[in-house]
Structure 1
Amino acid sequence: MKKIIYVLTLFFVLLVSFNASAQDILKSRDLSTLKVDDLTDGDLANISAQLKSNNTTIEQVEAMALSKGMSQVEYDKLKMRLNGYSGKSDNTNDKPEIQVNKVGFGRQQEKIVNEKIKDTDNNLIFGSDLFDNPTLNFEPDLKLATPMNYILGPGDELQISVYGIQEYNSSIPVSVEGKVSIQYVGQIFVSGMTVEAATQKIKAAIAKVYSTVRSGQSQVSVSLGKIRTIKVTIVGGKQPGNYSISSLATVYNALHLAGGPGKNGSYRNIELIRNNKIFRNIDIYRFLVKGDQSDNVGLRDNDVIRIPAYSQRVTVQGEVKRPGIFEMKKGETFSDLLNFASGFNELAYTASINVVQKTGKEFKVQDINESDFATYSPKSGDVFTVTKILNRFENRIKIEGAVFRPDYYSFTEGMKISDLITRAEGLKEDAYSKRARIIRLKSDLTTEIVNIDLSAALSGDLNADIELRREDIVTIYSILDFREEYKVTIDGEVKKPGVYEYYENLTLNDLIIQVGGLTGSASKRVEIARMVKSDSINDGDPKRIELVQLEITTDNNEQIKNFLLKPFDVINIRRVAVYEKPKMVIVSGAVTYPGKYVLASKVEKVYDIVMRAGGLTSIANLEGMKIKRPIKQEEIDRLESIDLNLAKNDSLKEKLASIKFSTIPINWEKIVKDKDHYSNVTLFPGDEIEVALYNEGVKVTGNVLLTSEIPYRSGKGFRYYIDAVGGVNNKGWKRKAYIIYPNGKADVTKSFLFFRTYPTVEPDSQIVVPEKPVAKKMSTGEWVSIGSVITSLALLIVTAFK
């Protein structure tokens, strides 16, 4: 009773010393609405400071908090936040926190990390990859139920709960003396006991204090909370040393942390030493081959895992499923070794295995027959080689050609040609029955052909129905193989001209229907060229072919006179003399009726079309008429085929390929005066006549200071417009400037001696100033060379005149 009064008094003192925020929360008589998540770090700091100043803990005031209505969940949150907050420190000299693995139900374990070292020297040793894979760590699963045979020790933490009428919940660590201290119950010694035994002991102790536990109205639950860390020593591993691991860890977990056995370490005779005695011999092959984890026993504090050197190792290479280096125990045979290697693969030769052995002085070779696999004992250093089976068949025979199922078949002694044909489900209708062929391999490895009278063999003639041999290839000929492939050709005004198969009794009607019928441009004239056959040469008759002229009805694919065709005939259906679809040109710009116009005749000229378009409007530029004529693809191909001797980086070819139209200038004033003027050109389909609108501006572009359009002024020359845009820039090449007139003509600046003539400027013209070519500057060495040459010439001249 005194202890309870002391706790209540102490808790009241703590409440008085809290800051305003904490007082508002904890002074309340009803803490059922308290949300620990809303507490600030300042509130937690004050609570933690008061608990420390009074030498008490949050666990000791649990009863008071619960009596004021605080839920167990909120109390656990407060306890967790206070414990987490007390772990923080502003002192930079404090050691870093130990990382722990946290699981959903509260069990914790220190994080054990060991960097893996990839084994390159022993990667062929069977089992080494088990310890190189960082995803295989054999860590204990903290989510498993509490193992009842787990041995408790200092560092473990027990979660003890009383539930029912009376409630109690606390996480109590096992002290260094091996005891747990339970409030109102006292200290209970549990070190060295299993969880099951400790649970019974704790229940008995609590039952003495809690009457409802004794009566069965309340229950007691004991489980592991935080798990302790133990020390084990590994000798002979790839990374030997002392390791701190979980008390739930097993042998394989420790071996994985140490990287497995070292270079010469044994995989089959690993010793687990406990209390200076060999507790268990561990054979990893039992796990690798059978999945047997009986050797994966739990570890105890101060256990030693000793990995001795191997006694026997052998090598298996070739056609096995898992080649590598294997460790053998005394009494094991080649059959056991083959089991370790997962057996032969599909291509292995299993009748005999070659083994290279080491004697005291040299090597020797031995063959192990299949009957000796279960008795041969491998010796250390043996190298077993499993070879491939031969690429040949012991009972294969083949039939091909005019049978229903040509394929390979199994051969049996005494098989005849009729038997094989029966297995191939008989001859096809087109089979040639007079002869069949067998290609046979002779004893001297050369081949021969055996001919068979097939009809006699199938009719029961024993002499013709010869016996077959292994690897014979039987060929049944087809009469279609001896026929020439006949074709006919049709061309001209049909929808699908081409070469077609010839059939007996094929007529002209049949072929016209097959090619989709006649086109609308087909004439009534048909010409058929027919091959001439003769047994003799007639020099007086120069004809190569026979020509047949026919007349057909063009409006009907079914002809009254149905002409019978012959192989290799060439049929040509001619086009009507006049059959041209309307072709159009385009008139655009300053005409009365711009648009598309059909060429009424083959010699339609510019003047005709323009007048059909209503003539020019009042705003038309008479100097700005031109024709844009599409460039045909064959013209582009012809230009690309010409060797222009251009540099690799010259863009001229790209510019040529990008040109889609050619421009033809038109002088309308001359055409109006003289219809026979050369500007009044004949139009082609696709031409476009452009009539420009009158524009009084002159465009100046290229390498000038300002690209602009200057109003046209009569009498002003070329240089006036260049000066009007600020002149040329530092890259401009003024003496090569040129002008493009509205009708597409161009003119360039001309030079003669010291005189320069500039082209005339017209309204709507465009002046272009090109860029100067990049001049290659002479290097210092070139100047020195030129100076040397001039000096030498001067010396020669001086010497000559002396």
Structure 2
Amino acid sequence: MLVFVCLWGACVSALAQQTPSRVDQLTDEQVAEFYRRAQASGLSEIQIEQAAMSQGYTLDDIAKMRRRIAQIRSQTAKQNGQSVADTGVVRSLPGDLSRPYRNSRNMGRNSNLRDTSLLLLPKLDTLKRPVVFGASLFQNADKENTGSIFEPNLRIATPRGYIVGPDDEIIIDIYGASADNYKLRVSPEGTIKVQNLAPIFVSGLTIEQAEQRIIGRLRQAYQGLNRPGSGTYANISLGQIRSIRVTLVGEVVRPGTYTISSLGSAFNALYLGGGPNPETGSFRRISVIRGNRVVRTIDLYDFLLRADQRDNIRLQDQDVIRVADYEVRVELAGEVRRPAIYEVLPGENLKTVLGFAGNFTDEAYTASISLRRNTARERKILTISQEELATFVPQRGDKYTVGRILERYENRIQITGAVMRPGEYALTPGLTTVRELLQKAEGLRKDAFTNRANIYRERDNMDTENIPFDVGRLLKGEIADIPLLRQDSVVVQSVRDLREEYTIRIEGAVNRPDIYPFVNNLSVADLIALAGGFQEGASASRIEVSRRIRQDTVATGSPNTVKIFTFTVDKDLKISDGATQFVLEPFDIVAVRSAPFYERQQRVFVDGEVMYPGNYAILNRTERVTDLIKLAGGLKSAAYLAGAQFKRKGNLVATDLRKVLENPGSEQNILLEDGDSLFVSQKSEVVSIQGAVLNPVLVNFEQKFSVNDYIQQAGGFTENARRKKTYITYQNGRKDVGRSSRVEPGSTIVVPFKPLEESKLSPTERIGILSLIGTLAATATTLIINLSRAQ
């Protein structure tokens, strides 16, 4: 990145003195001048880039300038016999590091994995067993694209306490009156070599100590380096870093030796090893051993609960991380925020463990906690009160269960029904009796039934008890007030709840006949208006109201069960003859009659071989089929009267139109009704044969053919044909039975099938019956012979 910084420093300086030009237009001398001034600019990389972009330089210009500066520096170094390293590289991880274990299939192909053994732990069955708190931190260590979670951050300044070792890369940047750049790798012997100077031993030193030693040696070649007034300065930084080897032992998922970055921390190594074994390992006693001495004990709970990384120290080569066996683990279940298995260290109490679990949920029963503890021979149950939490010491194998609060209320009372403010109230001083509760509910509604109310009380055995009282007398002070207990429910009924729902009905010639809720002081005219007013054919001269008789008709001697009232109402709904004073009562039925001679238009339909097919109105009640044909303009020449079909309500009426036209006074000339239809077809030239024939078919009509002739055309009868029941259906709907009937065009000959013989026995059933009869006969013969011998 140094070349990049130099480039922009030169650009800013040059742009201050001359007109901006493209990189391709600059000479090598100008580029070299830019580079020299950039070294002395003192600006940061971001500041230089922003300044250059503000002066009109593009990203392409930046890239070209970088290449030209690198080329000029390379040529200058070769001419001077120097080896100058490009310090503009990005720090990256060494290539021989161990990687997180993926799976057993690609384990053998992962040459980067440096471990002495692989102990693959089976996954916990979380459906049957509680989870171990902290195990999820490492559960993704064997999945793809998760290795970067705990990889060290390389985009940070070099830590001042970093210990330099073999294979580390030291970058020396000299600027000012002299300009040089060196990128030197620490040799296995722990030294770096600057041209024309003796080797400098830096292995085992911190980066600060190494910087002081290197600058002290460079002063042999650069007089007064880093001293005020010298004009020459040097900066020492760490470039590419080395790898180190650390060993994970103890209760680790995958113990072994791993190669990690020298910037790697304890968490990096633990992640590579899969973390502590959830079955046996401790998450709170992880030791970092350096030179046979424990330098840090890691408690992962500090990181998991508080994101505290003070124990995540940087590792050094040959460090050993040991995960100890857990000593005390307890399980928390029930109403805690994080039910799991937790590890407990000496000196920690149950309150501390509850803190690990996030403490109680909002629905937790906190008065006591149930404990199941293992003894030397069996288990026992303990109950821990709230006061004991801070002093109770958990033991190995304890299981604590936090229950849920009951769906009960310690001080709730309720009031429902015909009060102004029904709901739940607290049983508190000043609200302990029924009268006080009614006052709190702002009193009774006007529809309250005051003769009787009820208190529903829960007994000691959880049964419900009913306590009735006269709420009206109680409010008047005529009876003593009633004390309330928790869970009491007071119910004040409405008078509407104690009677049949009041309704009235209107029917007949109104627009919306229906049943309506009863309203006091409702007149007949009001109800007709509610029903949408009169229909067009309504008769205003007769409005009938039928009313229930509520009295005992037997006692009164009247045989009637209802009363009938009749009114005359005009079209403006003004009631005359005293009807304005008539008020409807519950369950009244109002009937609006239609006018005697009012009828809606009635229509019939005619189609087929008529002159003007279509819909026609029935003029009067005396119109018949012949009148309909006249209205349609008469028949066409192709009309086949024998096949005319007359239908009423979708059903075919058997009518012979030929006889109707020949004799209009015959009974077949029926009166027309609304919805009737007449279809006059053309003459059909075929006859249909169906039913129990070998080949049901349509054949041409032959005047000389009889029924048998047509059946022969269909292949004759089948074996199960009922020949004597053969009948003919004509197009007009009439039928004729017998094979001697006359066949007309368009007729259908139907030969019925014989019914199935369900009682006929199969061969197997016959054999069984005969065998049974034979057996019975042999038995009877034997009995007769034995009886005769006995005599």
Specify the TM-score bucket, using the shorter chain as the normaliser: 0.5 to 0.7
For 1:313 and 1:743, the matched residues in 2 are separated by 96
| Cα gap change, 1:243 to 1:509, in 2 (>3 Å) | same
2:303 paired with 1:294: no
What are the equivalent positions in structure 2 for 1:534-573 lying under 5 Å apart?
534=551, 537-538=554-555, 540-548=557-565, 550-553=566-569, 555-560=571-576, 561-562=579-580, 563-573=582-592
Q: Please list, as runs of the form range in 1=range in 2, the aligned pairs for 1:57-96 lying within 5 A after superposition.
A: none
Deviation at 1:628, TM superposition (A): 5.6
The Cα offsets for residues 58-81 of structure 1, whole Å up to 9 and x where unpaired, read as xxxxxxxxxxx97757999xxxxx
Post-superposition CA distance 1:269-313 (Å, at most 9, x none)? 122334443332221222222232333334445443322221111
Q: What is the rounded CA distance, in whole Å, between the counterparts of 1:532 and 1:734 in structure 2? A: 67
CA distance in 1, matches of 2:618, 2:321: 104
Work out the CA distance in 1 between the residues paired with 2:274 and 2:752: 76
Moved more, 116-125 or 331-340: 116-125
SS at match of 2:626: helix
Residue of structure 2 in register with 1:145 after alignment: 155
* Alpha-carbon contact 1:592-1:616 (below 8 Å) kept: yes
Alpha carbons of structure 1 residues 695 and 485: separation in structure 2 relative to 1, 3 Å: closer
Moved more, 172-181 or 375-384: 172-181
**Matched residues in 1 for 2:666 and 2:659: separation?**
7
Cross-structure match for 2:275: 260
Contact conserved, 1:235 with 1:304, CA < 8 A, in 2?
no
Supply the distance in 2 between the matched residues of 1:768 and 1:160 (Cα, whole angstroms). Answer: 116
The alignment status of 1:125 with 2:144, answered yes or no, reads no
Deviations 1:404-437 (A, max 9, x none): 2222222234645454344333444455667765
**Pairing 1:675–2:664 present:** yes
The aligned counterpart of 2:634 is 615
Deviation by residue 1:120-169 (Cα, 9 ceiling, x = unmatched):
27543222233335587662467762341266767778999999999999
1:649 corresponds in structure 2 to: none
- The percent of aligned pairs where both chains have the same amino acid is 34
Q: Which amino acid aligns with 2:530?
A: Q
Question: Per-residue deviation at 1:614?
Answer: 1.8
Q: 1:235 to 1:628 in 2, by over 3 A?
A: farther
- 1:346 and 2:362 aligned: yes
Cα offset, 1:512, TM superposition? 1.7
1:397 is displaced (CA, Å) by 2.8
DSSP-derived class of the 2:387 partner: helix
Corresponding residue pairs, total: 654
Q: Contact between 1:267 and 1:284, CA under 8 Å: does it hold in 2?
A: yes
| 1-structure distance, mates of 2:766, 2:616 | 68
Counterpart contact for 1:234–1:241, Cα < 8 Å: yes
Q: Indicate if the aligned counterparts of 2:456 and 2:489 stay in contact, CA closer than 8 A.
A: yes
What SS does the aligned partner of 1:409 have? strand
Give the corresponding residue for 2:467. Answer: 449
Unaligned runs of 5+ in 2: 1-23, 27-62, 71-88, 104-120, 756-761, 775-791
Tell whether the 8 Å contact from 1:118 to 1:132 is kept in structure 2 after alignment. no
Q: Go from structure 1 to structure 2 and tell me whether the alpha carbon gap of 1:369 and 1:767 turns closer, same or farther (over 3 Å shift).
A: same
Map of 1:451-466 to 2, 5 A cutoff? 451=469, 464-465=480-481
Q: Is the 8 A contact 1:718 1:761 kept in 2?
A: no
How far apart are residue 331 of structure 1 and its match? 0.6
Asked if the contact 1:148–1:194 (Cα under 8 Å) also holds between the matched residues in 2, the reply is no
Measure the CA separation in 2 of the matches of 1:326 and 1:588.
Answer: 92
Amino acid of the structure 2 residue aligned with 1:689: L
For 2:301, what is the secondary structure of its paired residue?
A: helix
Question: Which residue does 2:609 correspond to in 1?
Answer: 590
SS of 1:494 mapped into structure 2? coil
Provide the residue aligned with 1:634 in structure 2: none
CA contact (8 A) 1:522 1:554 kept: no
Change over 3 Å in CA distance of 1:202–1:611 after alignment to 2: farther
Aligned-partner Cα distance in 1 for 2:400–2:356: 13
8 Å CA contact 1:151–1:194 kept in 2: the answer is: yes
Q: 1:139·1:249 contact (CA, 8 Å) conserved in 2?
A: no
Letter matched to residue 686 of structure 1: G
- 1:584 is displaced (CA, Å) by 2.3
State whether residues 112 and 244 of structure 1, in contact with CA within 8 Å, keep that contact through their aligned partners in structure 2: no
In structure 1, distance between residues paired with 2:553 and 2:772: 87
Counterpart of 1:294 in 2: which secondary structure? coil
Between the aligned partners of 1:193 and 1:415, the Cα distance in structure 2 is: 81
Are residues 1:528 and 2:537 paired?
A: no
Letter in 1 for 2:149: E
Contact 2:548–2:587 (8 Å) recurs in 1: yes
Query: SS in structure 1 opposite 2:253?
Result: coil
Return the letter of the residue paired with 2:663: D
Write the letter of the residue equivalent to 2:312: N
Correspondence for 1:411? 427
Are the structure 2 counterparts of residues 107 and 539 from structure 1 closer, same or farther at C-alpha, using a change threshold of 3 Å?
same
**How far apart, in 2, do the equivalents of 1:419 and 1:491 lie?**
50
Q: 1:661-685 deviations in whole A, cap 9, x for unaligned?
A: x555765444433336676555543
For residues 250 and 739 of structure 1, do their structure 2 counterparts lie closer, same or farther at Cα, with a shift above 3 Å needed? Answer: farther
Give 1:42's aligned residue: none
1:114 corresponds in structure 2 to 102
Matching residue of 1:280: 296
Gap regions ≥5 residues in structure 1: 1-29, 33-68, 77-103, 632-661, 752-756, 774-781, 795-802
**Does 419-428 or 155-164 show the bigger shift?**
155-164
CA pair 316-793 structure 1, distance change in 2 beyond 3 A? closer
- Contact 2:285/2:323, CA 8 A, preserved across alignment: yes
Partner residue of 1:371? 387
* Selected match of 1:392 from 408, 412, 430: 408
The answer as to whether partners of 2:722 and 2:752 remain within 8 angstroms in 1 is no
CA RMSD of aligned residues (A): 6.1
Query: What secondary structure, in the 3-state scheme, does the structure 2 residue paired with 1:308 have?
Result: strand
Name the amino acid aligned to 1:576.
Answer: A
- Of 593, 599, 618, which residue of structure 1 is paired with 2:618? 599
Alignment-derived partner of residue 648 in structure 1: none
**Corresponding residue to 1:236 among 231, 251, 262:** 251
Name the amino acid aligned to 2:137.
L
Q: TM-score normalised to the size of structure 2?
A: 0.64
Amino acid corresponding to residue 125 of structure 2 in structure 1: T
Moved more, 443-452 or 525-534: 443-452
SS in structure 1 opposite 2:309? coil
Q: 1:623, CA displacement in angstroms?
A: 5.4
Supply the distance in 1 between the matched residues of 2:262 and 2:309 (Cα, whole angstroms): 18
CA drift at 1:327: 1.2
Q: Deviations over 1:10-54 (max 9, x none)?
A: xxxxxxxxxxxxxxxxxxxx999xxxxxxxxxxxxxxxxxxxxxx
| Residue-by-residue CA offset, 1:243-283 (whole Å, 9 max, x unaligned) | 45555554334434444332121121122334443332221
Q: Distance in 1 between matches of 2:148 and 2:491?
A: 65
Quick one: structure 1 residues 112 and 715, their matched pair in 2 at CA, closer, same or farther if it must change by over 3 Å? farther
On the 8 A contact 2:553/2:559 being kept in 1, the answer is: no
Q: Distance in 2 between matches of 1:586 and 1:227?
A: 104
Picking from 493, 505, 517, the partner of 1:501 is 517
Q: TM-score, structure 1 length as denominator?
A: 0.63
C-alpha deviation, 1:746, in angstroms: 10
Aligned AA (1:132): Q
1:329: how far off?
0.6
